[in-house]
Structure 1
Amino acid sequence: MSKPDGSPRLSRFRGLRGRVMAAFVLGASVVAVVLAGSVYGISTSYMESQRVRTVERAVGVHAELLRLRLDDPRISGEQALDALHLPTGYIAILHRDRRWSAVGVDDGFAPLTPPVIDTADAIPSTATRVRLGDQPYLRVWSEVENGSVLYEFAPLRELEANLHMLRTILLACAVLAVAVAAALGAWAAQRTLSPLRQVAAAASRIASGEHDLRLPRAADEDLATTVEAFNAMVDSLQRRIERERRLVSDLSHELRTPLTTLTTTATVLAGHRDELSERPKAALGLLVEETSHLRGLLDDMLALARAEAGIHRSDLSPLSLAELLTHLLAGRDTSPELLDVRDPGMVRGRRMELERALVNLLANADRHGGGLTGVTVDRDGADVKVVVDDAGPGVAPEDRGRIFDRFVTVSRATAGTGIGLALVAETVAGHDGTLRCTERPGGGARFVLTIPACDDVRHEIANKRAEPLQ
């Protein structure tokens, strides 16, 4: 059942399954980020260092070539630079005798002022990233001779394109890893929660009456303890139910006999009422009344105990609630017009228990509701619905839930055991049905009883009736 502020789907992901999936996704995300960052950092450092070393070696070689060519006074700086045959995209600038010579640049290129260098220092400069226009370059310089300096600008577009591709690939791999982790998390949650679902299904079947059902032994040591504890709990529950059944049987035997004797004695004494004086007559009247009330209370308590203990819980048979109500109303000498059968749907139930429950509902309408005004049998989706209306004052909204508890009597004007409606509720629950109390339009109380229909039974009966005799 979902929370008020969330849908059932969202509440499902807030549970154990969601936490398992979140753990997998979080772990995969952390690992993916660490690995992607490490791979990108190492790859970037390696590729840039390789690029720097390549450019530095090239500028050193080019400086030596220029030194040899510039020994010839007939060769100008531009001619010496052209003879280097630089790769595409490279820029070479020679600063010699306060003059600038450049190759690989546009006509509008204005080189930066070269840094002040110590002509006695022949060590090449550290490579530096610069931007010429909107393009990235790696600038390296080296002294040629007599204060002449060679500047080379190596393009970094290819390197940055490779790094961009590497970032994209790593990001895609990280997303894929998280997606795979989510799938693995869902699978792991499914496998992890499967034993819990089996336990829940077994518990539901046991609650519905299959008291002999047990969970099979588990090969997993972690689950074996849970399975053994569950089976031990069910064994204890079954033993308790058996004790309750024996108690019900003992009570039925021990209490019925003396109560029958007491009732019979009171009846015999009532036959000689005229021979008694006034005070013994009054006492006899109270005795007859109380023994009758005690007998009804005992019958209701025994029936309720049997229903709660699940005695004869499995002998279900198809029956029609409409036919059952027709029989009950005919036995009560009630007008048949009170019964309105709109759909005589079939249900699976125990005839004696359902008959007693319906008798209690009808008796409640007569005793506490000012008389029965109508009974309706209809379909309500997958259920067969029985509606019982009375002409009484109705039931207050705050009492409509608790009147199905034991020993609760809302009306003090009429006598009752306070167990009749509790027995009806227990019987309906034992048939997987529902029972509720509402207000009847026009005044009075309305009791709505629903029991799951079994259309397959109705169809089987209809087919059998349609088959020709052999």
Structure 2
Amino acid sequence: MSLRWKITATITLVSVLVAVALSLTVHFAYAYRLADEARQLQSERIELALREYSRTGQATLGTRLDPPDLPTQLRQAVKDGSTATLLEDTGDGAVIWAAAAVPEQQVLSLRSPYDPQLRALASLDRVLVMGALTVVALGAGAGVVIGAQLSVRLRRAAAAAGRVAEGDRSTRVSAAIGSGSRDEAGELARSVDAMADALQSRIEAERRVTADIAHELRTPLTGLTTAAELLPPGRPAELVRDRVRVLRALVEDVLEVARLDTATERAELSEVALGAFTTRRAAPYAPEVETRVRADAVVDTDPRRLERILTNLITNALKHGAPPVVVEVDGARITVRDHGSGFPDELLSEGPSRFRKWPGGSGGHGLGLTIALGQANVLGARLTFANPADGGALAILDLAPDEHGHPPHSGERPRTRS
């Protein structure tokens, strides 16, 4: 149940309890008052009739001597010479009795209908029921309005927080729900904004440090590469050149990650026939990689970035998986699958993370899948990871994730044929 309906149900329940409590209080108070007034009136009338009986010896004012229908408990109550009253339900209606003892062991009694008082009480009950229903309806309406307002604000806050989590730096939760609010929801929104700003500042600082370090390493790497090429032929020279190539590739990967993190990269679109494109890019890995084209498609994408994604996915499958590695094209979707132990649970739940190595992996720096995911975001594509039930790891690149068959692009360039 949503918060809106919880608030509505709570206010409605409170309204019902208050309406019932007030209605019962008024009902019993009025019923007691009617009964008390009727008893006083009967007592006064029996007293007058008793005085007349003492003077004339005759029952007057509607009184009777020892009527057969006189209730036994009333007869017992006046034995000591006192006056008593009794409210009785006869089945055909309510009556009120008054009685007093007279000489010769007789009882002078007065019987009057109580139906007028019951009709007045019933009329009051109808008013109370209508009032209670009105209170409950107003309470439920107020609950719906209050709950709807709070629910809308919280949903806006959740949507804004989601956009912030996706990397939209311009979104502010407090602005989404109304920056002038001073209630708990406003305080929560301002706290989330402050947390997002602090995290963003920290991430920006880390990005700058990473990019600066990578840039600073480029100059000595260039000199190191030149010096390595001047070494005399031999095994030591080959080892030095290999390590220099690895270090250069790492620096270039770090710089690429830093550029992707800035969210300023733009795709240069052209029409690409996915079947032929994927087959050509996977061919250098033969015979370890098998390429299948189930259904070909022509999509608008950036060939350079798409090649980078495919290269990283295939390299990752070869390093961390087991053969056979199968690359399949099905329309605008490309899948890369190996038959190894599958992706780690952390990757499936949290996504790729830089510099995180697989347990028992064969080296690498954890940047390949991070770069692939970043490039997919630039293309407006969707890259997902899964472990099939029959084993292995599966990477799915969907180049047309939206309902129109084309991925959304920002900053599009003129298209060319590729």
Q: Same fold (TM over 0.5)?
A: yes
Match of 1:361 among 290, 297, 313: 313
State the match for 1:423 in structure 2: 371
* 2:229 corresponds to 1:298: no
Gap change, CA 1:186 and 1:111, over 3 Å in 2: closer
After superposition, give the CA deviation of every residue in 1:359-389 in whole Å (9 maximum; x if it has no partner). Answer: 21122234443353231335xxxxx643212
Letter aligned with residue 204 of structure 1: G
CA distance in 2, matches of 1:110, 1:213: 86
- The answer to which of 201-210 and 419-428 deviates more is 419-428
State the match for 1:189 in structure 2: 147
CA distance in 2, matches of 1:93, 1:356: 114
Q: Residues 292 and 326 of structure 2 are in contact (CA less than 8 Å); yes or no, is this contact kept in structure 1?
A: no
Gap change, CA 1:373 and 1:193, over 3 Å in 2: closer
State the match for 2:65 in structure 1: 94
Letter aligned with residue 253 of structure 2: D
Gap change, CA 1:255 and 1:324, over 3 Å in 2: farther
Identify unmatched segments of 5+ residues in structure 1.
1-9, 72-79, 87-91, 103-108, 274-280, 379-383, 461-470
State the match for 1:287 in structure 2: 240
Gap change, CA 1:141 and 1:346, over 3 Å in 2: farther
Give the length in aligned residue pairs.
396
State the match for 1:453 in structure 2: 401
Structure 1 SS opposite 2:283: coil
CA distance in 1, matches of 2:307, 2:22: 72
Gap change, CA 1:417 and 1:364, over 3 Å in 2: same
Gap change, CA 1:450 and 1:160, over 3 Å in 2: farther
Structure 2 SS opposite 1:185: helix
1:355 is displaced (CA, Å) by: 4.1
Structure 1 SS opposite 2:243: helix
Q: Residues 296 and 329 of structure 2 are in contact (CA less than 8 Å); yes or no, is this contact kept in structure 1?
A: no
Gap change, CA 1:130 and 1:212, over 3 Å in 2: closer
After superposition, give the CA deviation of every residue in 1:389-419 in whole Å (9 maximum; x if it has no partner). Answer: 23x444377687489443314565x553332
State the match for 2:180 in structure 1: 219
State the match for 1:48 in structure 2: 35
Structure 2 SS opposite 1:139: strand
Structure 2 SS opposite 1:439: coil
1:230 is displaced (CA, Å) by: 4.9
State the match for 1:207 in structure 2: 165
Match of 2:385 among 436, 439, 443: 436
* 2:301 corresponds to 1:330: no
Letter aligned with residue 386 of structure 1: I
1:331 is displaced (CA, Å) by: 3.6
How much identity, in percent, do the aligned residues show? 23
Q: Residues 435 and 448 of structure 1 are in contact (CA less than 8 Å); yes or no, is this contact kept in structure 2?
A: yes
Letter aligned with residue 304 of structure 1: V
Match of 1:395 among 342, 346, 349: 342
Q: Residues 273 and 299 of structure 2 are in contact (CA less than 8 Å); yes or no, is this contact kept in structure 1?
A: no
Match of 1:115 among 58, 76, 82: 76
1:259 is displaced (CA, Å) by: 2.1
1:140 is displaced (CA, Å) by: 0.7
For 1:12-411, what aligned pairs fall within 5 Å after superposition? 12-13=2-3, 17=4, 20-21=7-8, 24-25=11-12, 27-62=14-49, 93-95=64-66, 112=72, 114-115=75-76, 117=78, 125-132=83-90, 136-142=94-100, 148-160=106-118, 162-163=120-121, 166-167=124-125, 170-171=128-129, 173-174=131-132, 176-214=134-172, 215-216=174-175, 218-222=179-183, 229-269=191-231, 273=233, 281-307=234-260, 309-312=261-264, 315=266, 323=273, 326-333=276-283, 338-342=291-295, 344=297, 353-368=305-320, 369-378=322-331, 385-390=333-338, 392-395=339-342, 401=348, 404-405=352-353, 406-410=355-359
CA distance in 2, matches of 1:353, 1:198: 35
Gap change, CA 1:449 and 1:177, over 3 Å in 2: farther
Structure 2 SS opposite 1:115: helix
CA distance in 2, matches of 1:264, 1:65: 139
CA distance in 2, matches of 1:169, 1:355: 79
Gap change, CA 1:133 and 1:208, over 3 Å in 2: closer
Gap change, CA 1:208 and 1:439, over 3 Å in 2: closer
After superposition, give the CA deviation of every residue in 1:319-378 in whole Å (9 maximum; x if it has no partner). Answer: 77x74564243244369982425474968x876555422321122234443353231335
1:266 is displaced (CA, Å) by: 2.9
CA distance in 2, matches of 1:181, 1:372: 65
CA distance in 1, matches of 2:116, 2:269: 82
Q: Residues 214 and 255 of structure 2 are in contact (CA less than 8 Å); yes or no, is this contact kept in structure 1?
A: yes
1:425 is displaced (CA, Å) by: 4.3
State the match for 1:74 in structure 2: none
After superposition, give the CA deviation of every residue in 1:134-164 in whole Å (9 maximum; x if it has no partner). Answer: 7543221135677653212333355445545
CA distance in 2, matches of 1:188, 1:130: 50
- The answer to which of 179-188 and 136-145 deviates more is 136-145
State the match for 2:415 in structure 1: none
CA distance in 1, matches of 2:171, 2:263: 17
Gap change, CA 1:456 and 1:376, over 3 Å in 2: closer
Q: Residues 137 and 153 of structure 1 are in contact (CA less than 8 Å); yes or no, is this contact kept in structure 2?
A: yes
CA distance in 1, matches of 2:395, 2:40: 92
Structure 2 SS opposite 1:127: strand
Q: Residues 407 and 418 of structure 1 are in contact (CA less than 8 Å); yes or no, is this contact kept in structure 2?
A: yes
After superposition, give the CA deviation of every residue in 1:223-271 in whole Å (9 maximum; x if it has no partner). Answer: 77666555554444444444344334423422223223323443454xx
Letter aligned with residue 261 of structure 1: G
Gap change, CA 1:325 and 1:400, over 3 Å in 2: farther
Q: Which has the higher contact order (CA 8 A, sep 6+)?
A: 2
Q: Residues 96 and 111 of structure 2 are in contact (CA less than 8 Å); yes or no, is this contact kept in structure 1?
A: yes
Q: Residues 21 and 182 of structure 1 are in contact (CA less than 8 Å); yes or no, is this contact kept in structure 2?
A: yes
Gap change, CA 1:440 and 1:131, over 3 Å in 2: closer
